[in-house]
Amino acid sequence: MNNKIRLFTPGPVTMSTRMLAIGASQLPYNRTEQFSQITFEIIKDLKYIFGTRGNVVIFTASGTGAMEAVIFNFLDKSDKVLIVNGGTFGQRWVDICIQHAIPFEQINLNPGQPISLKDLDHKLSSQEYSTLLINAHETSTGMIYDTKAIGELTQKYGVFFVVDAISTICADIFMMDEWHVDVSLLSSQKALALPPGLSFLALNKKARLRLETKTCQSYYFDIKVYLANQSRGQMPFTPVIGHYMMLHERLREIRLRGIDFFVSRHSTLAEYFRKGMKRLPFNFFSTNPSNALTAMSCPKDIDAFDLVKRLADDYNCFVAPNGGNLKHKVFRVSHLGEQNETDIDFLINALEDILNNYQQTKNHIIMEKENY
């Protein structure tokens, strides 16, 4: 087995030595003026990567926590929500709405299927729905939706537009204000290449006004309380301070180089992988993949879940399995974090080795049957 761990999972991802060193440092006390200044700088840089002039709230929670915060703060039983459900994370919006008894309907897409803008236009034109919930990038299938075009429709019909952009920001172009997104979400362990544990919710003026008309149903996720505390550079509850310090430095890196540099880097890695995979008998699962991830369909005689296990056990190389009906058919390869072309070559060569082993085993079985 190769000793180096290679992560091609969509979170956690391989982190830089600089971030790891910061994470290993002694934590500062957070109730200080110096920490407040760090918080102000973090919020300013988060606005930059979201592409918004609005507010950004920082939660010590996974991305799912930020999704639930949307329900707690912006929706109630008087709403009628439309959800685009194209996979595991579209289903998560559904599950959260069910949990909190929010009335909804869903547009069910086959895995890897794009949204029909014509159908969505027809749905929204009914004026039946107050809110649209989507995942900009459905991470379970690799499909990225046309958030810009969808935002034009929600703007046209006055629909409150909420976007889970957790696995797309910094990997793909995302412009919250320009695309008429009212609320968008991000978490730390994707293209930011930090540990899991922080999530971010950005809200524009329209969302801020809506916030005032709703009563938050959560003590911990009350956005109004976060905004009040963040105005003085503090959090209402103890944050994950080590993650904050890493986030502060990571956002400075992004600001200095410019977000276009990071989008371009993810695009280059994604294209390098996809070009290399064309020599192997896999198919690309999504017709419109994000720079963040590529989902691959296996040949019919290859079990995707077994392949993922072999990569981990024999090569110390970790790709993402799938669940449900795709468990044995599709695996996913992330292009996030501190990976390079050499790492990608290693993965592709490992996949080729495994395919050859499958074929040798198959040939051996055939020979045994013929001899028998």
Read off the pLDDT of residues 326-354 as tens digits, 9 standing for 90 and up. Answer: 999 999 999 999 999 999 999 999 999 99
Instruction: Name the nearest CA neighbour of 218 among 101, 68, 94.
Output: 68
233-286 confidence digits (pLDDT tens): 999 999 999 999 999 999 999 999 999 999 999 999 999 999 999 999 999 999
**Where do the structural domains in the chain lie, given as residue ranges?**
6-12+258-371, 17-257
Helix then strand then coil, in percent of the chain rounded to 5, is: 45, 15, 40
The CATH architecture that domain 6-12+258-371 belongs to is Alpha-Beta Complex (3.90)
In this structure, are residues 247 and 157 in contact, taking their beta carbons and an 8 Å threshold? no
* pLDDT score of 18 more than 60: yes
**Which pLDDT score is estimated for 368?**
59
Q: Do 63 and 166 meet the contact criterion of CB atoms below 8 Å apart?
A: yes
Average pLDDT over residues 298-311: 96
pLDDT band at 371 (very low <50, low <70, confident <90, very high): low
From residue 106, how far is each of 102, 261, 353 by CA, in Å?
12, 36, 42
pLDDT band for 366, please (50, 70, 90 cuts). Answer: low
pLDDT at position 216, please? 96
Is residue 358 within 8 Å of 302, Cβ to Cβ? yes
Segment 198-223 mean pLDDT: 97
User: What pLDDT band is residue 359 in, cutting at 50, 70 and 90?
Assistant: confident
pLDDT at 358: 86
pLDDT of residue 360: 80
CATH: 2.60.40.10, 3.40.640.10, 1.20.1260.10, 3.50.50.60. Which one for 17-257? 3.40.640.10
Question: How is residue 113 annotated by DSSP?
Answer: P
pLDDT band at residue 372 using 50, 70 and 90 as cut-offs: low
Q: Is the pLDDT of residue 361 over 90?
A: no
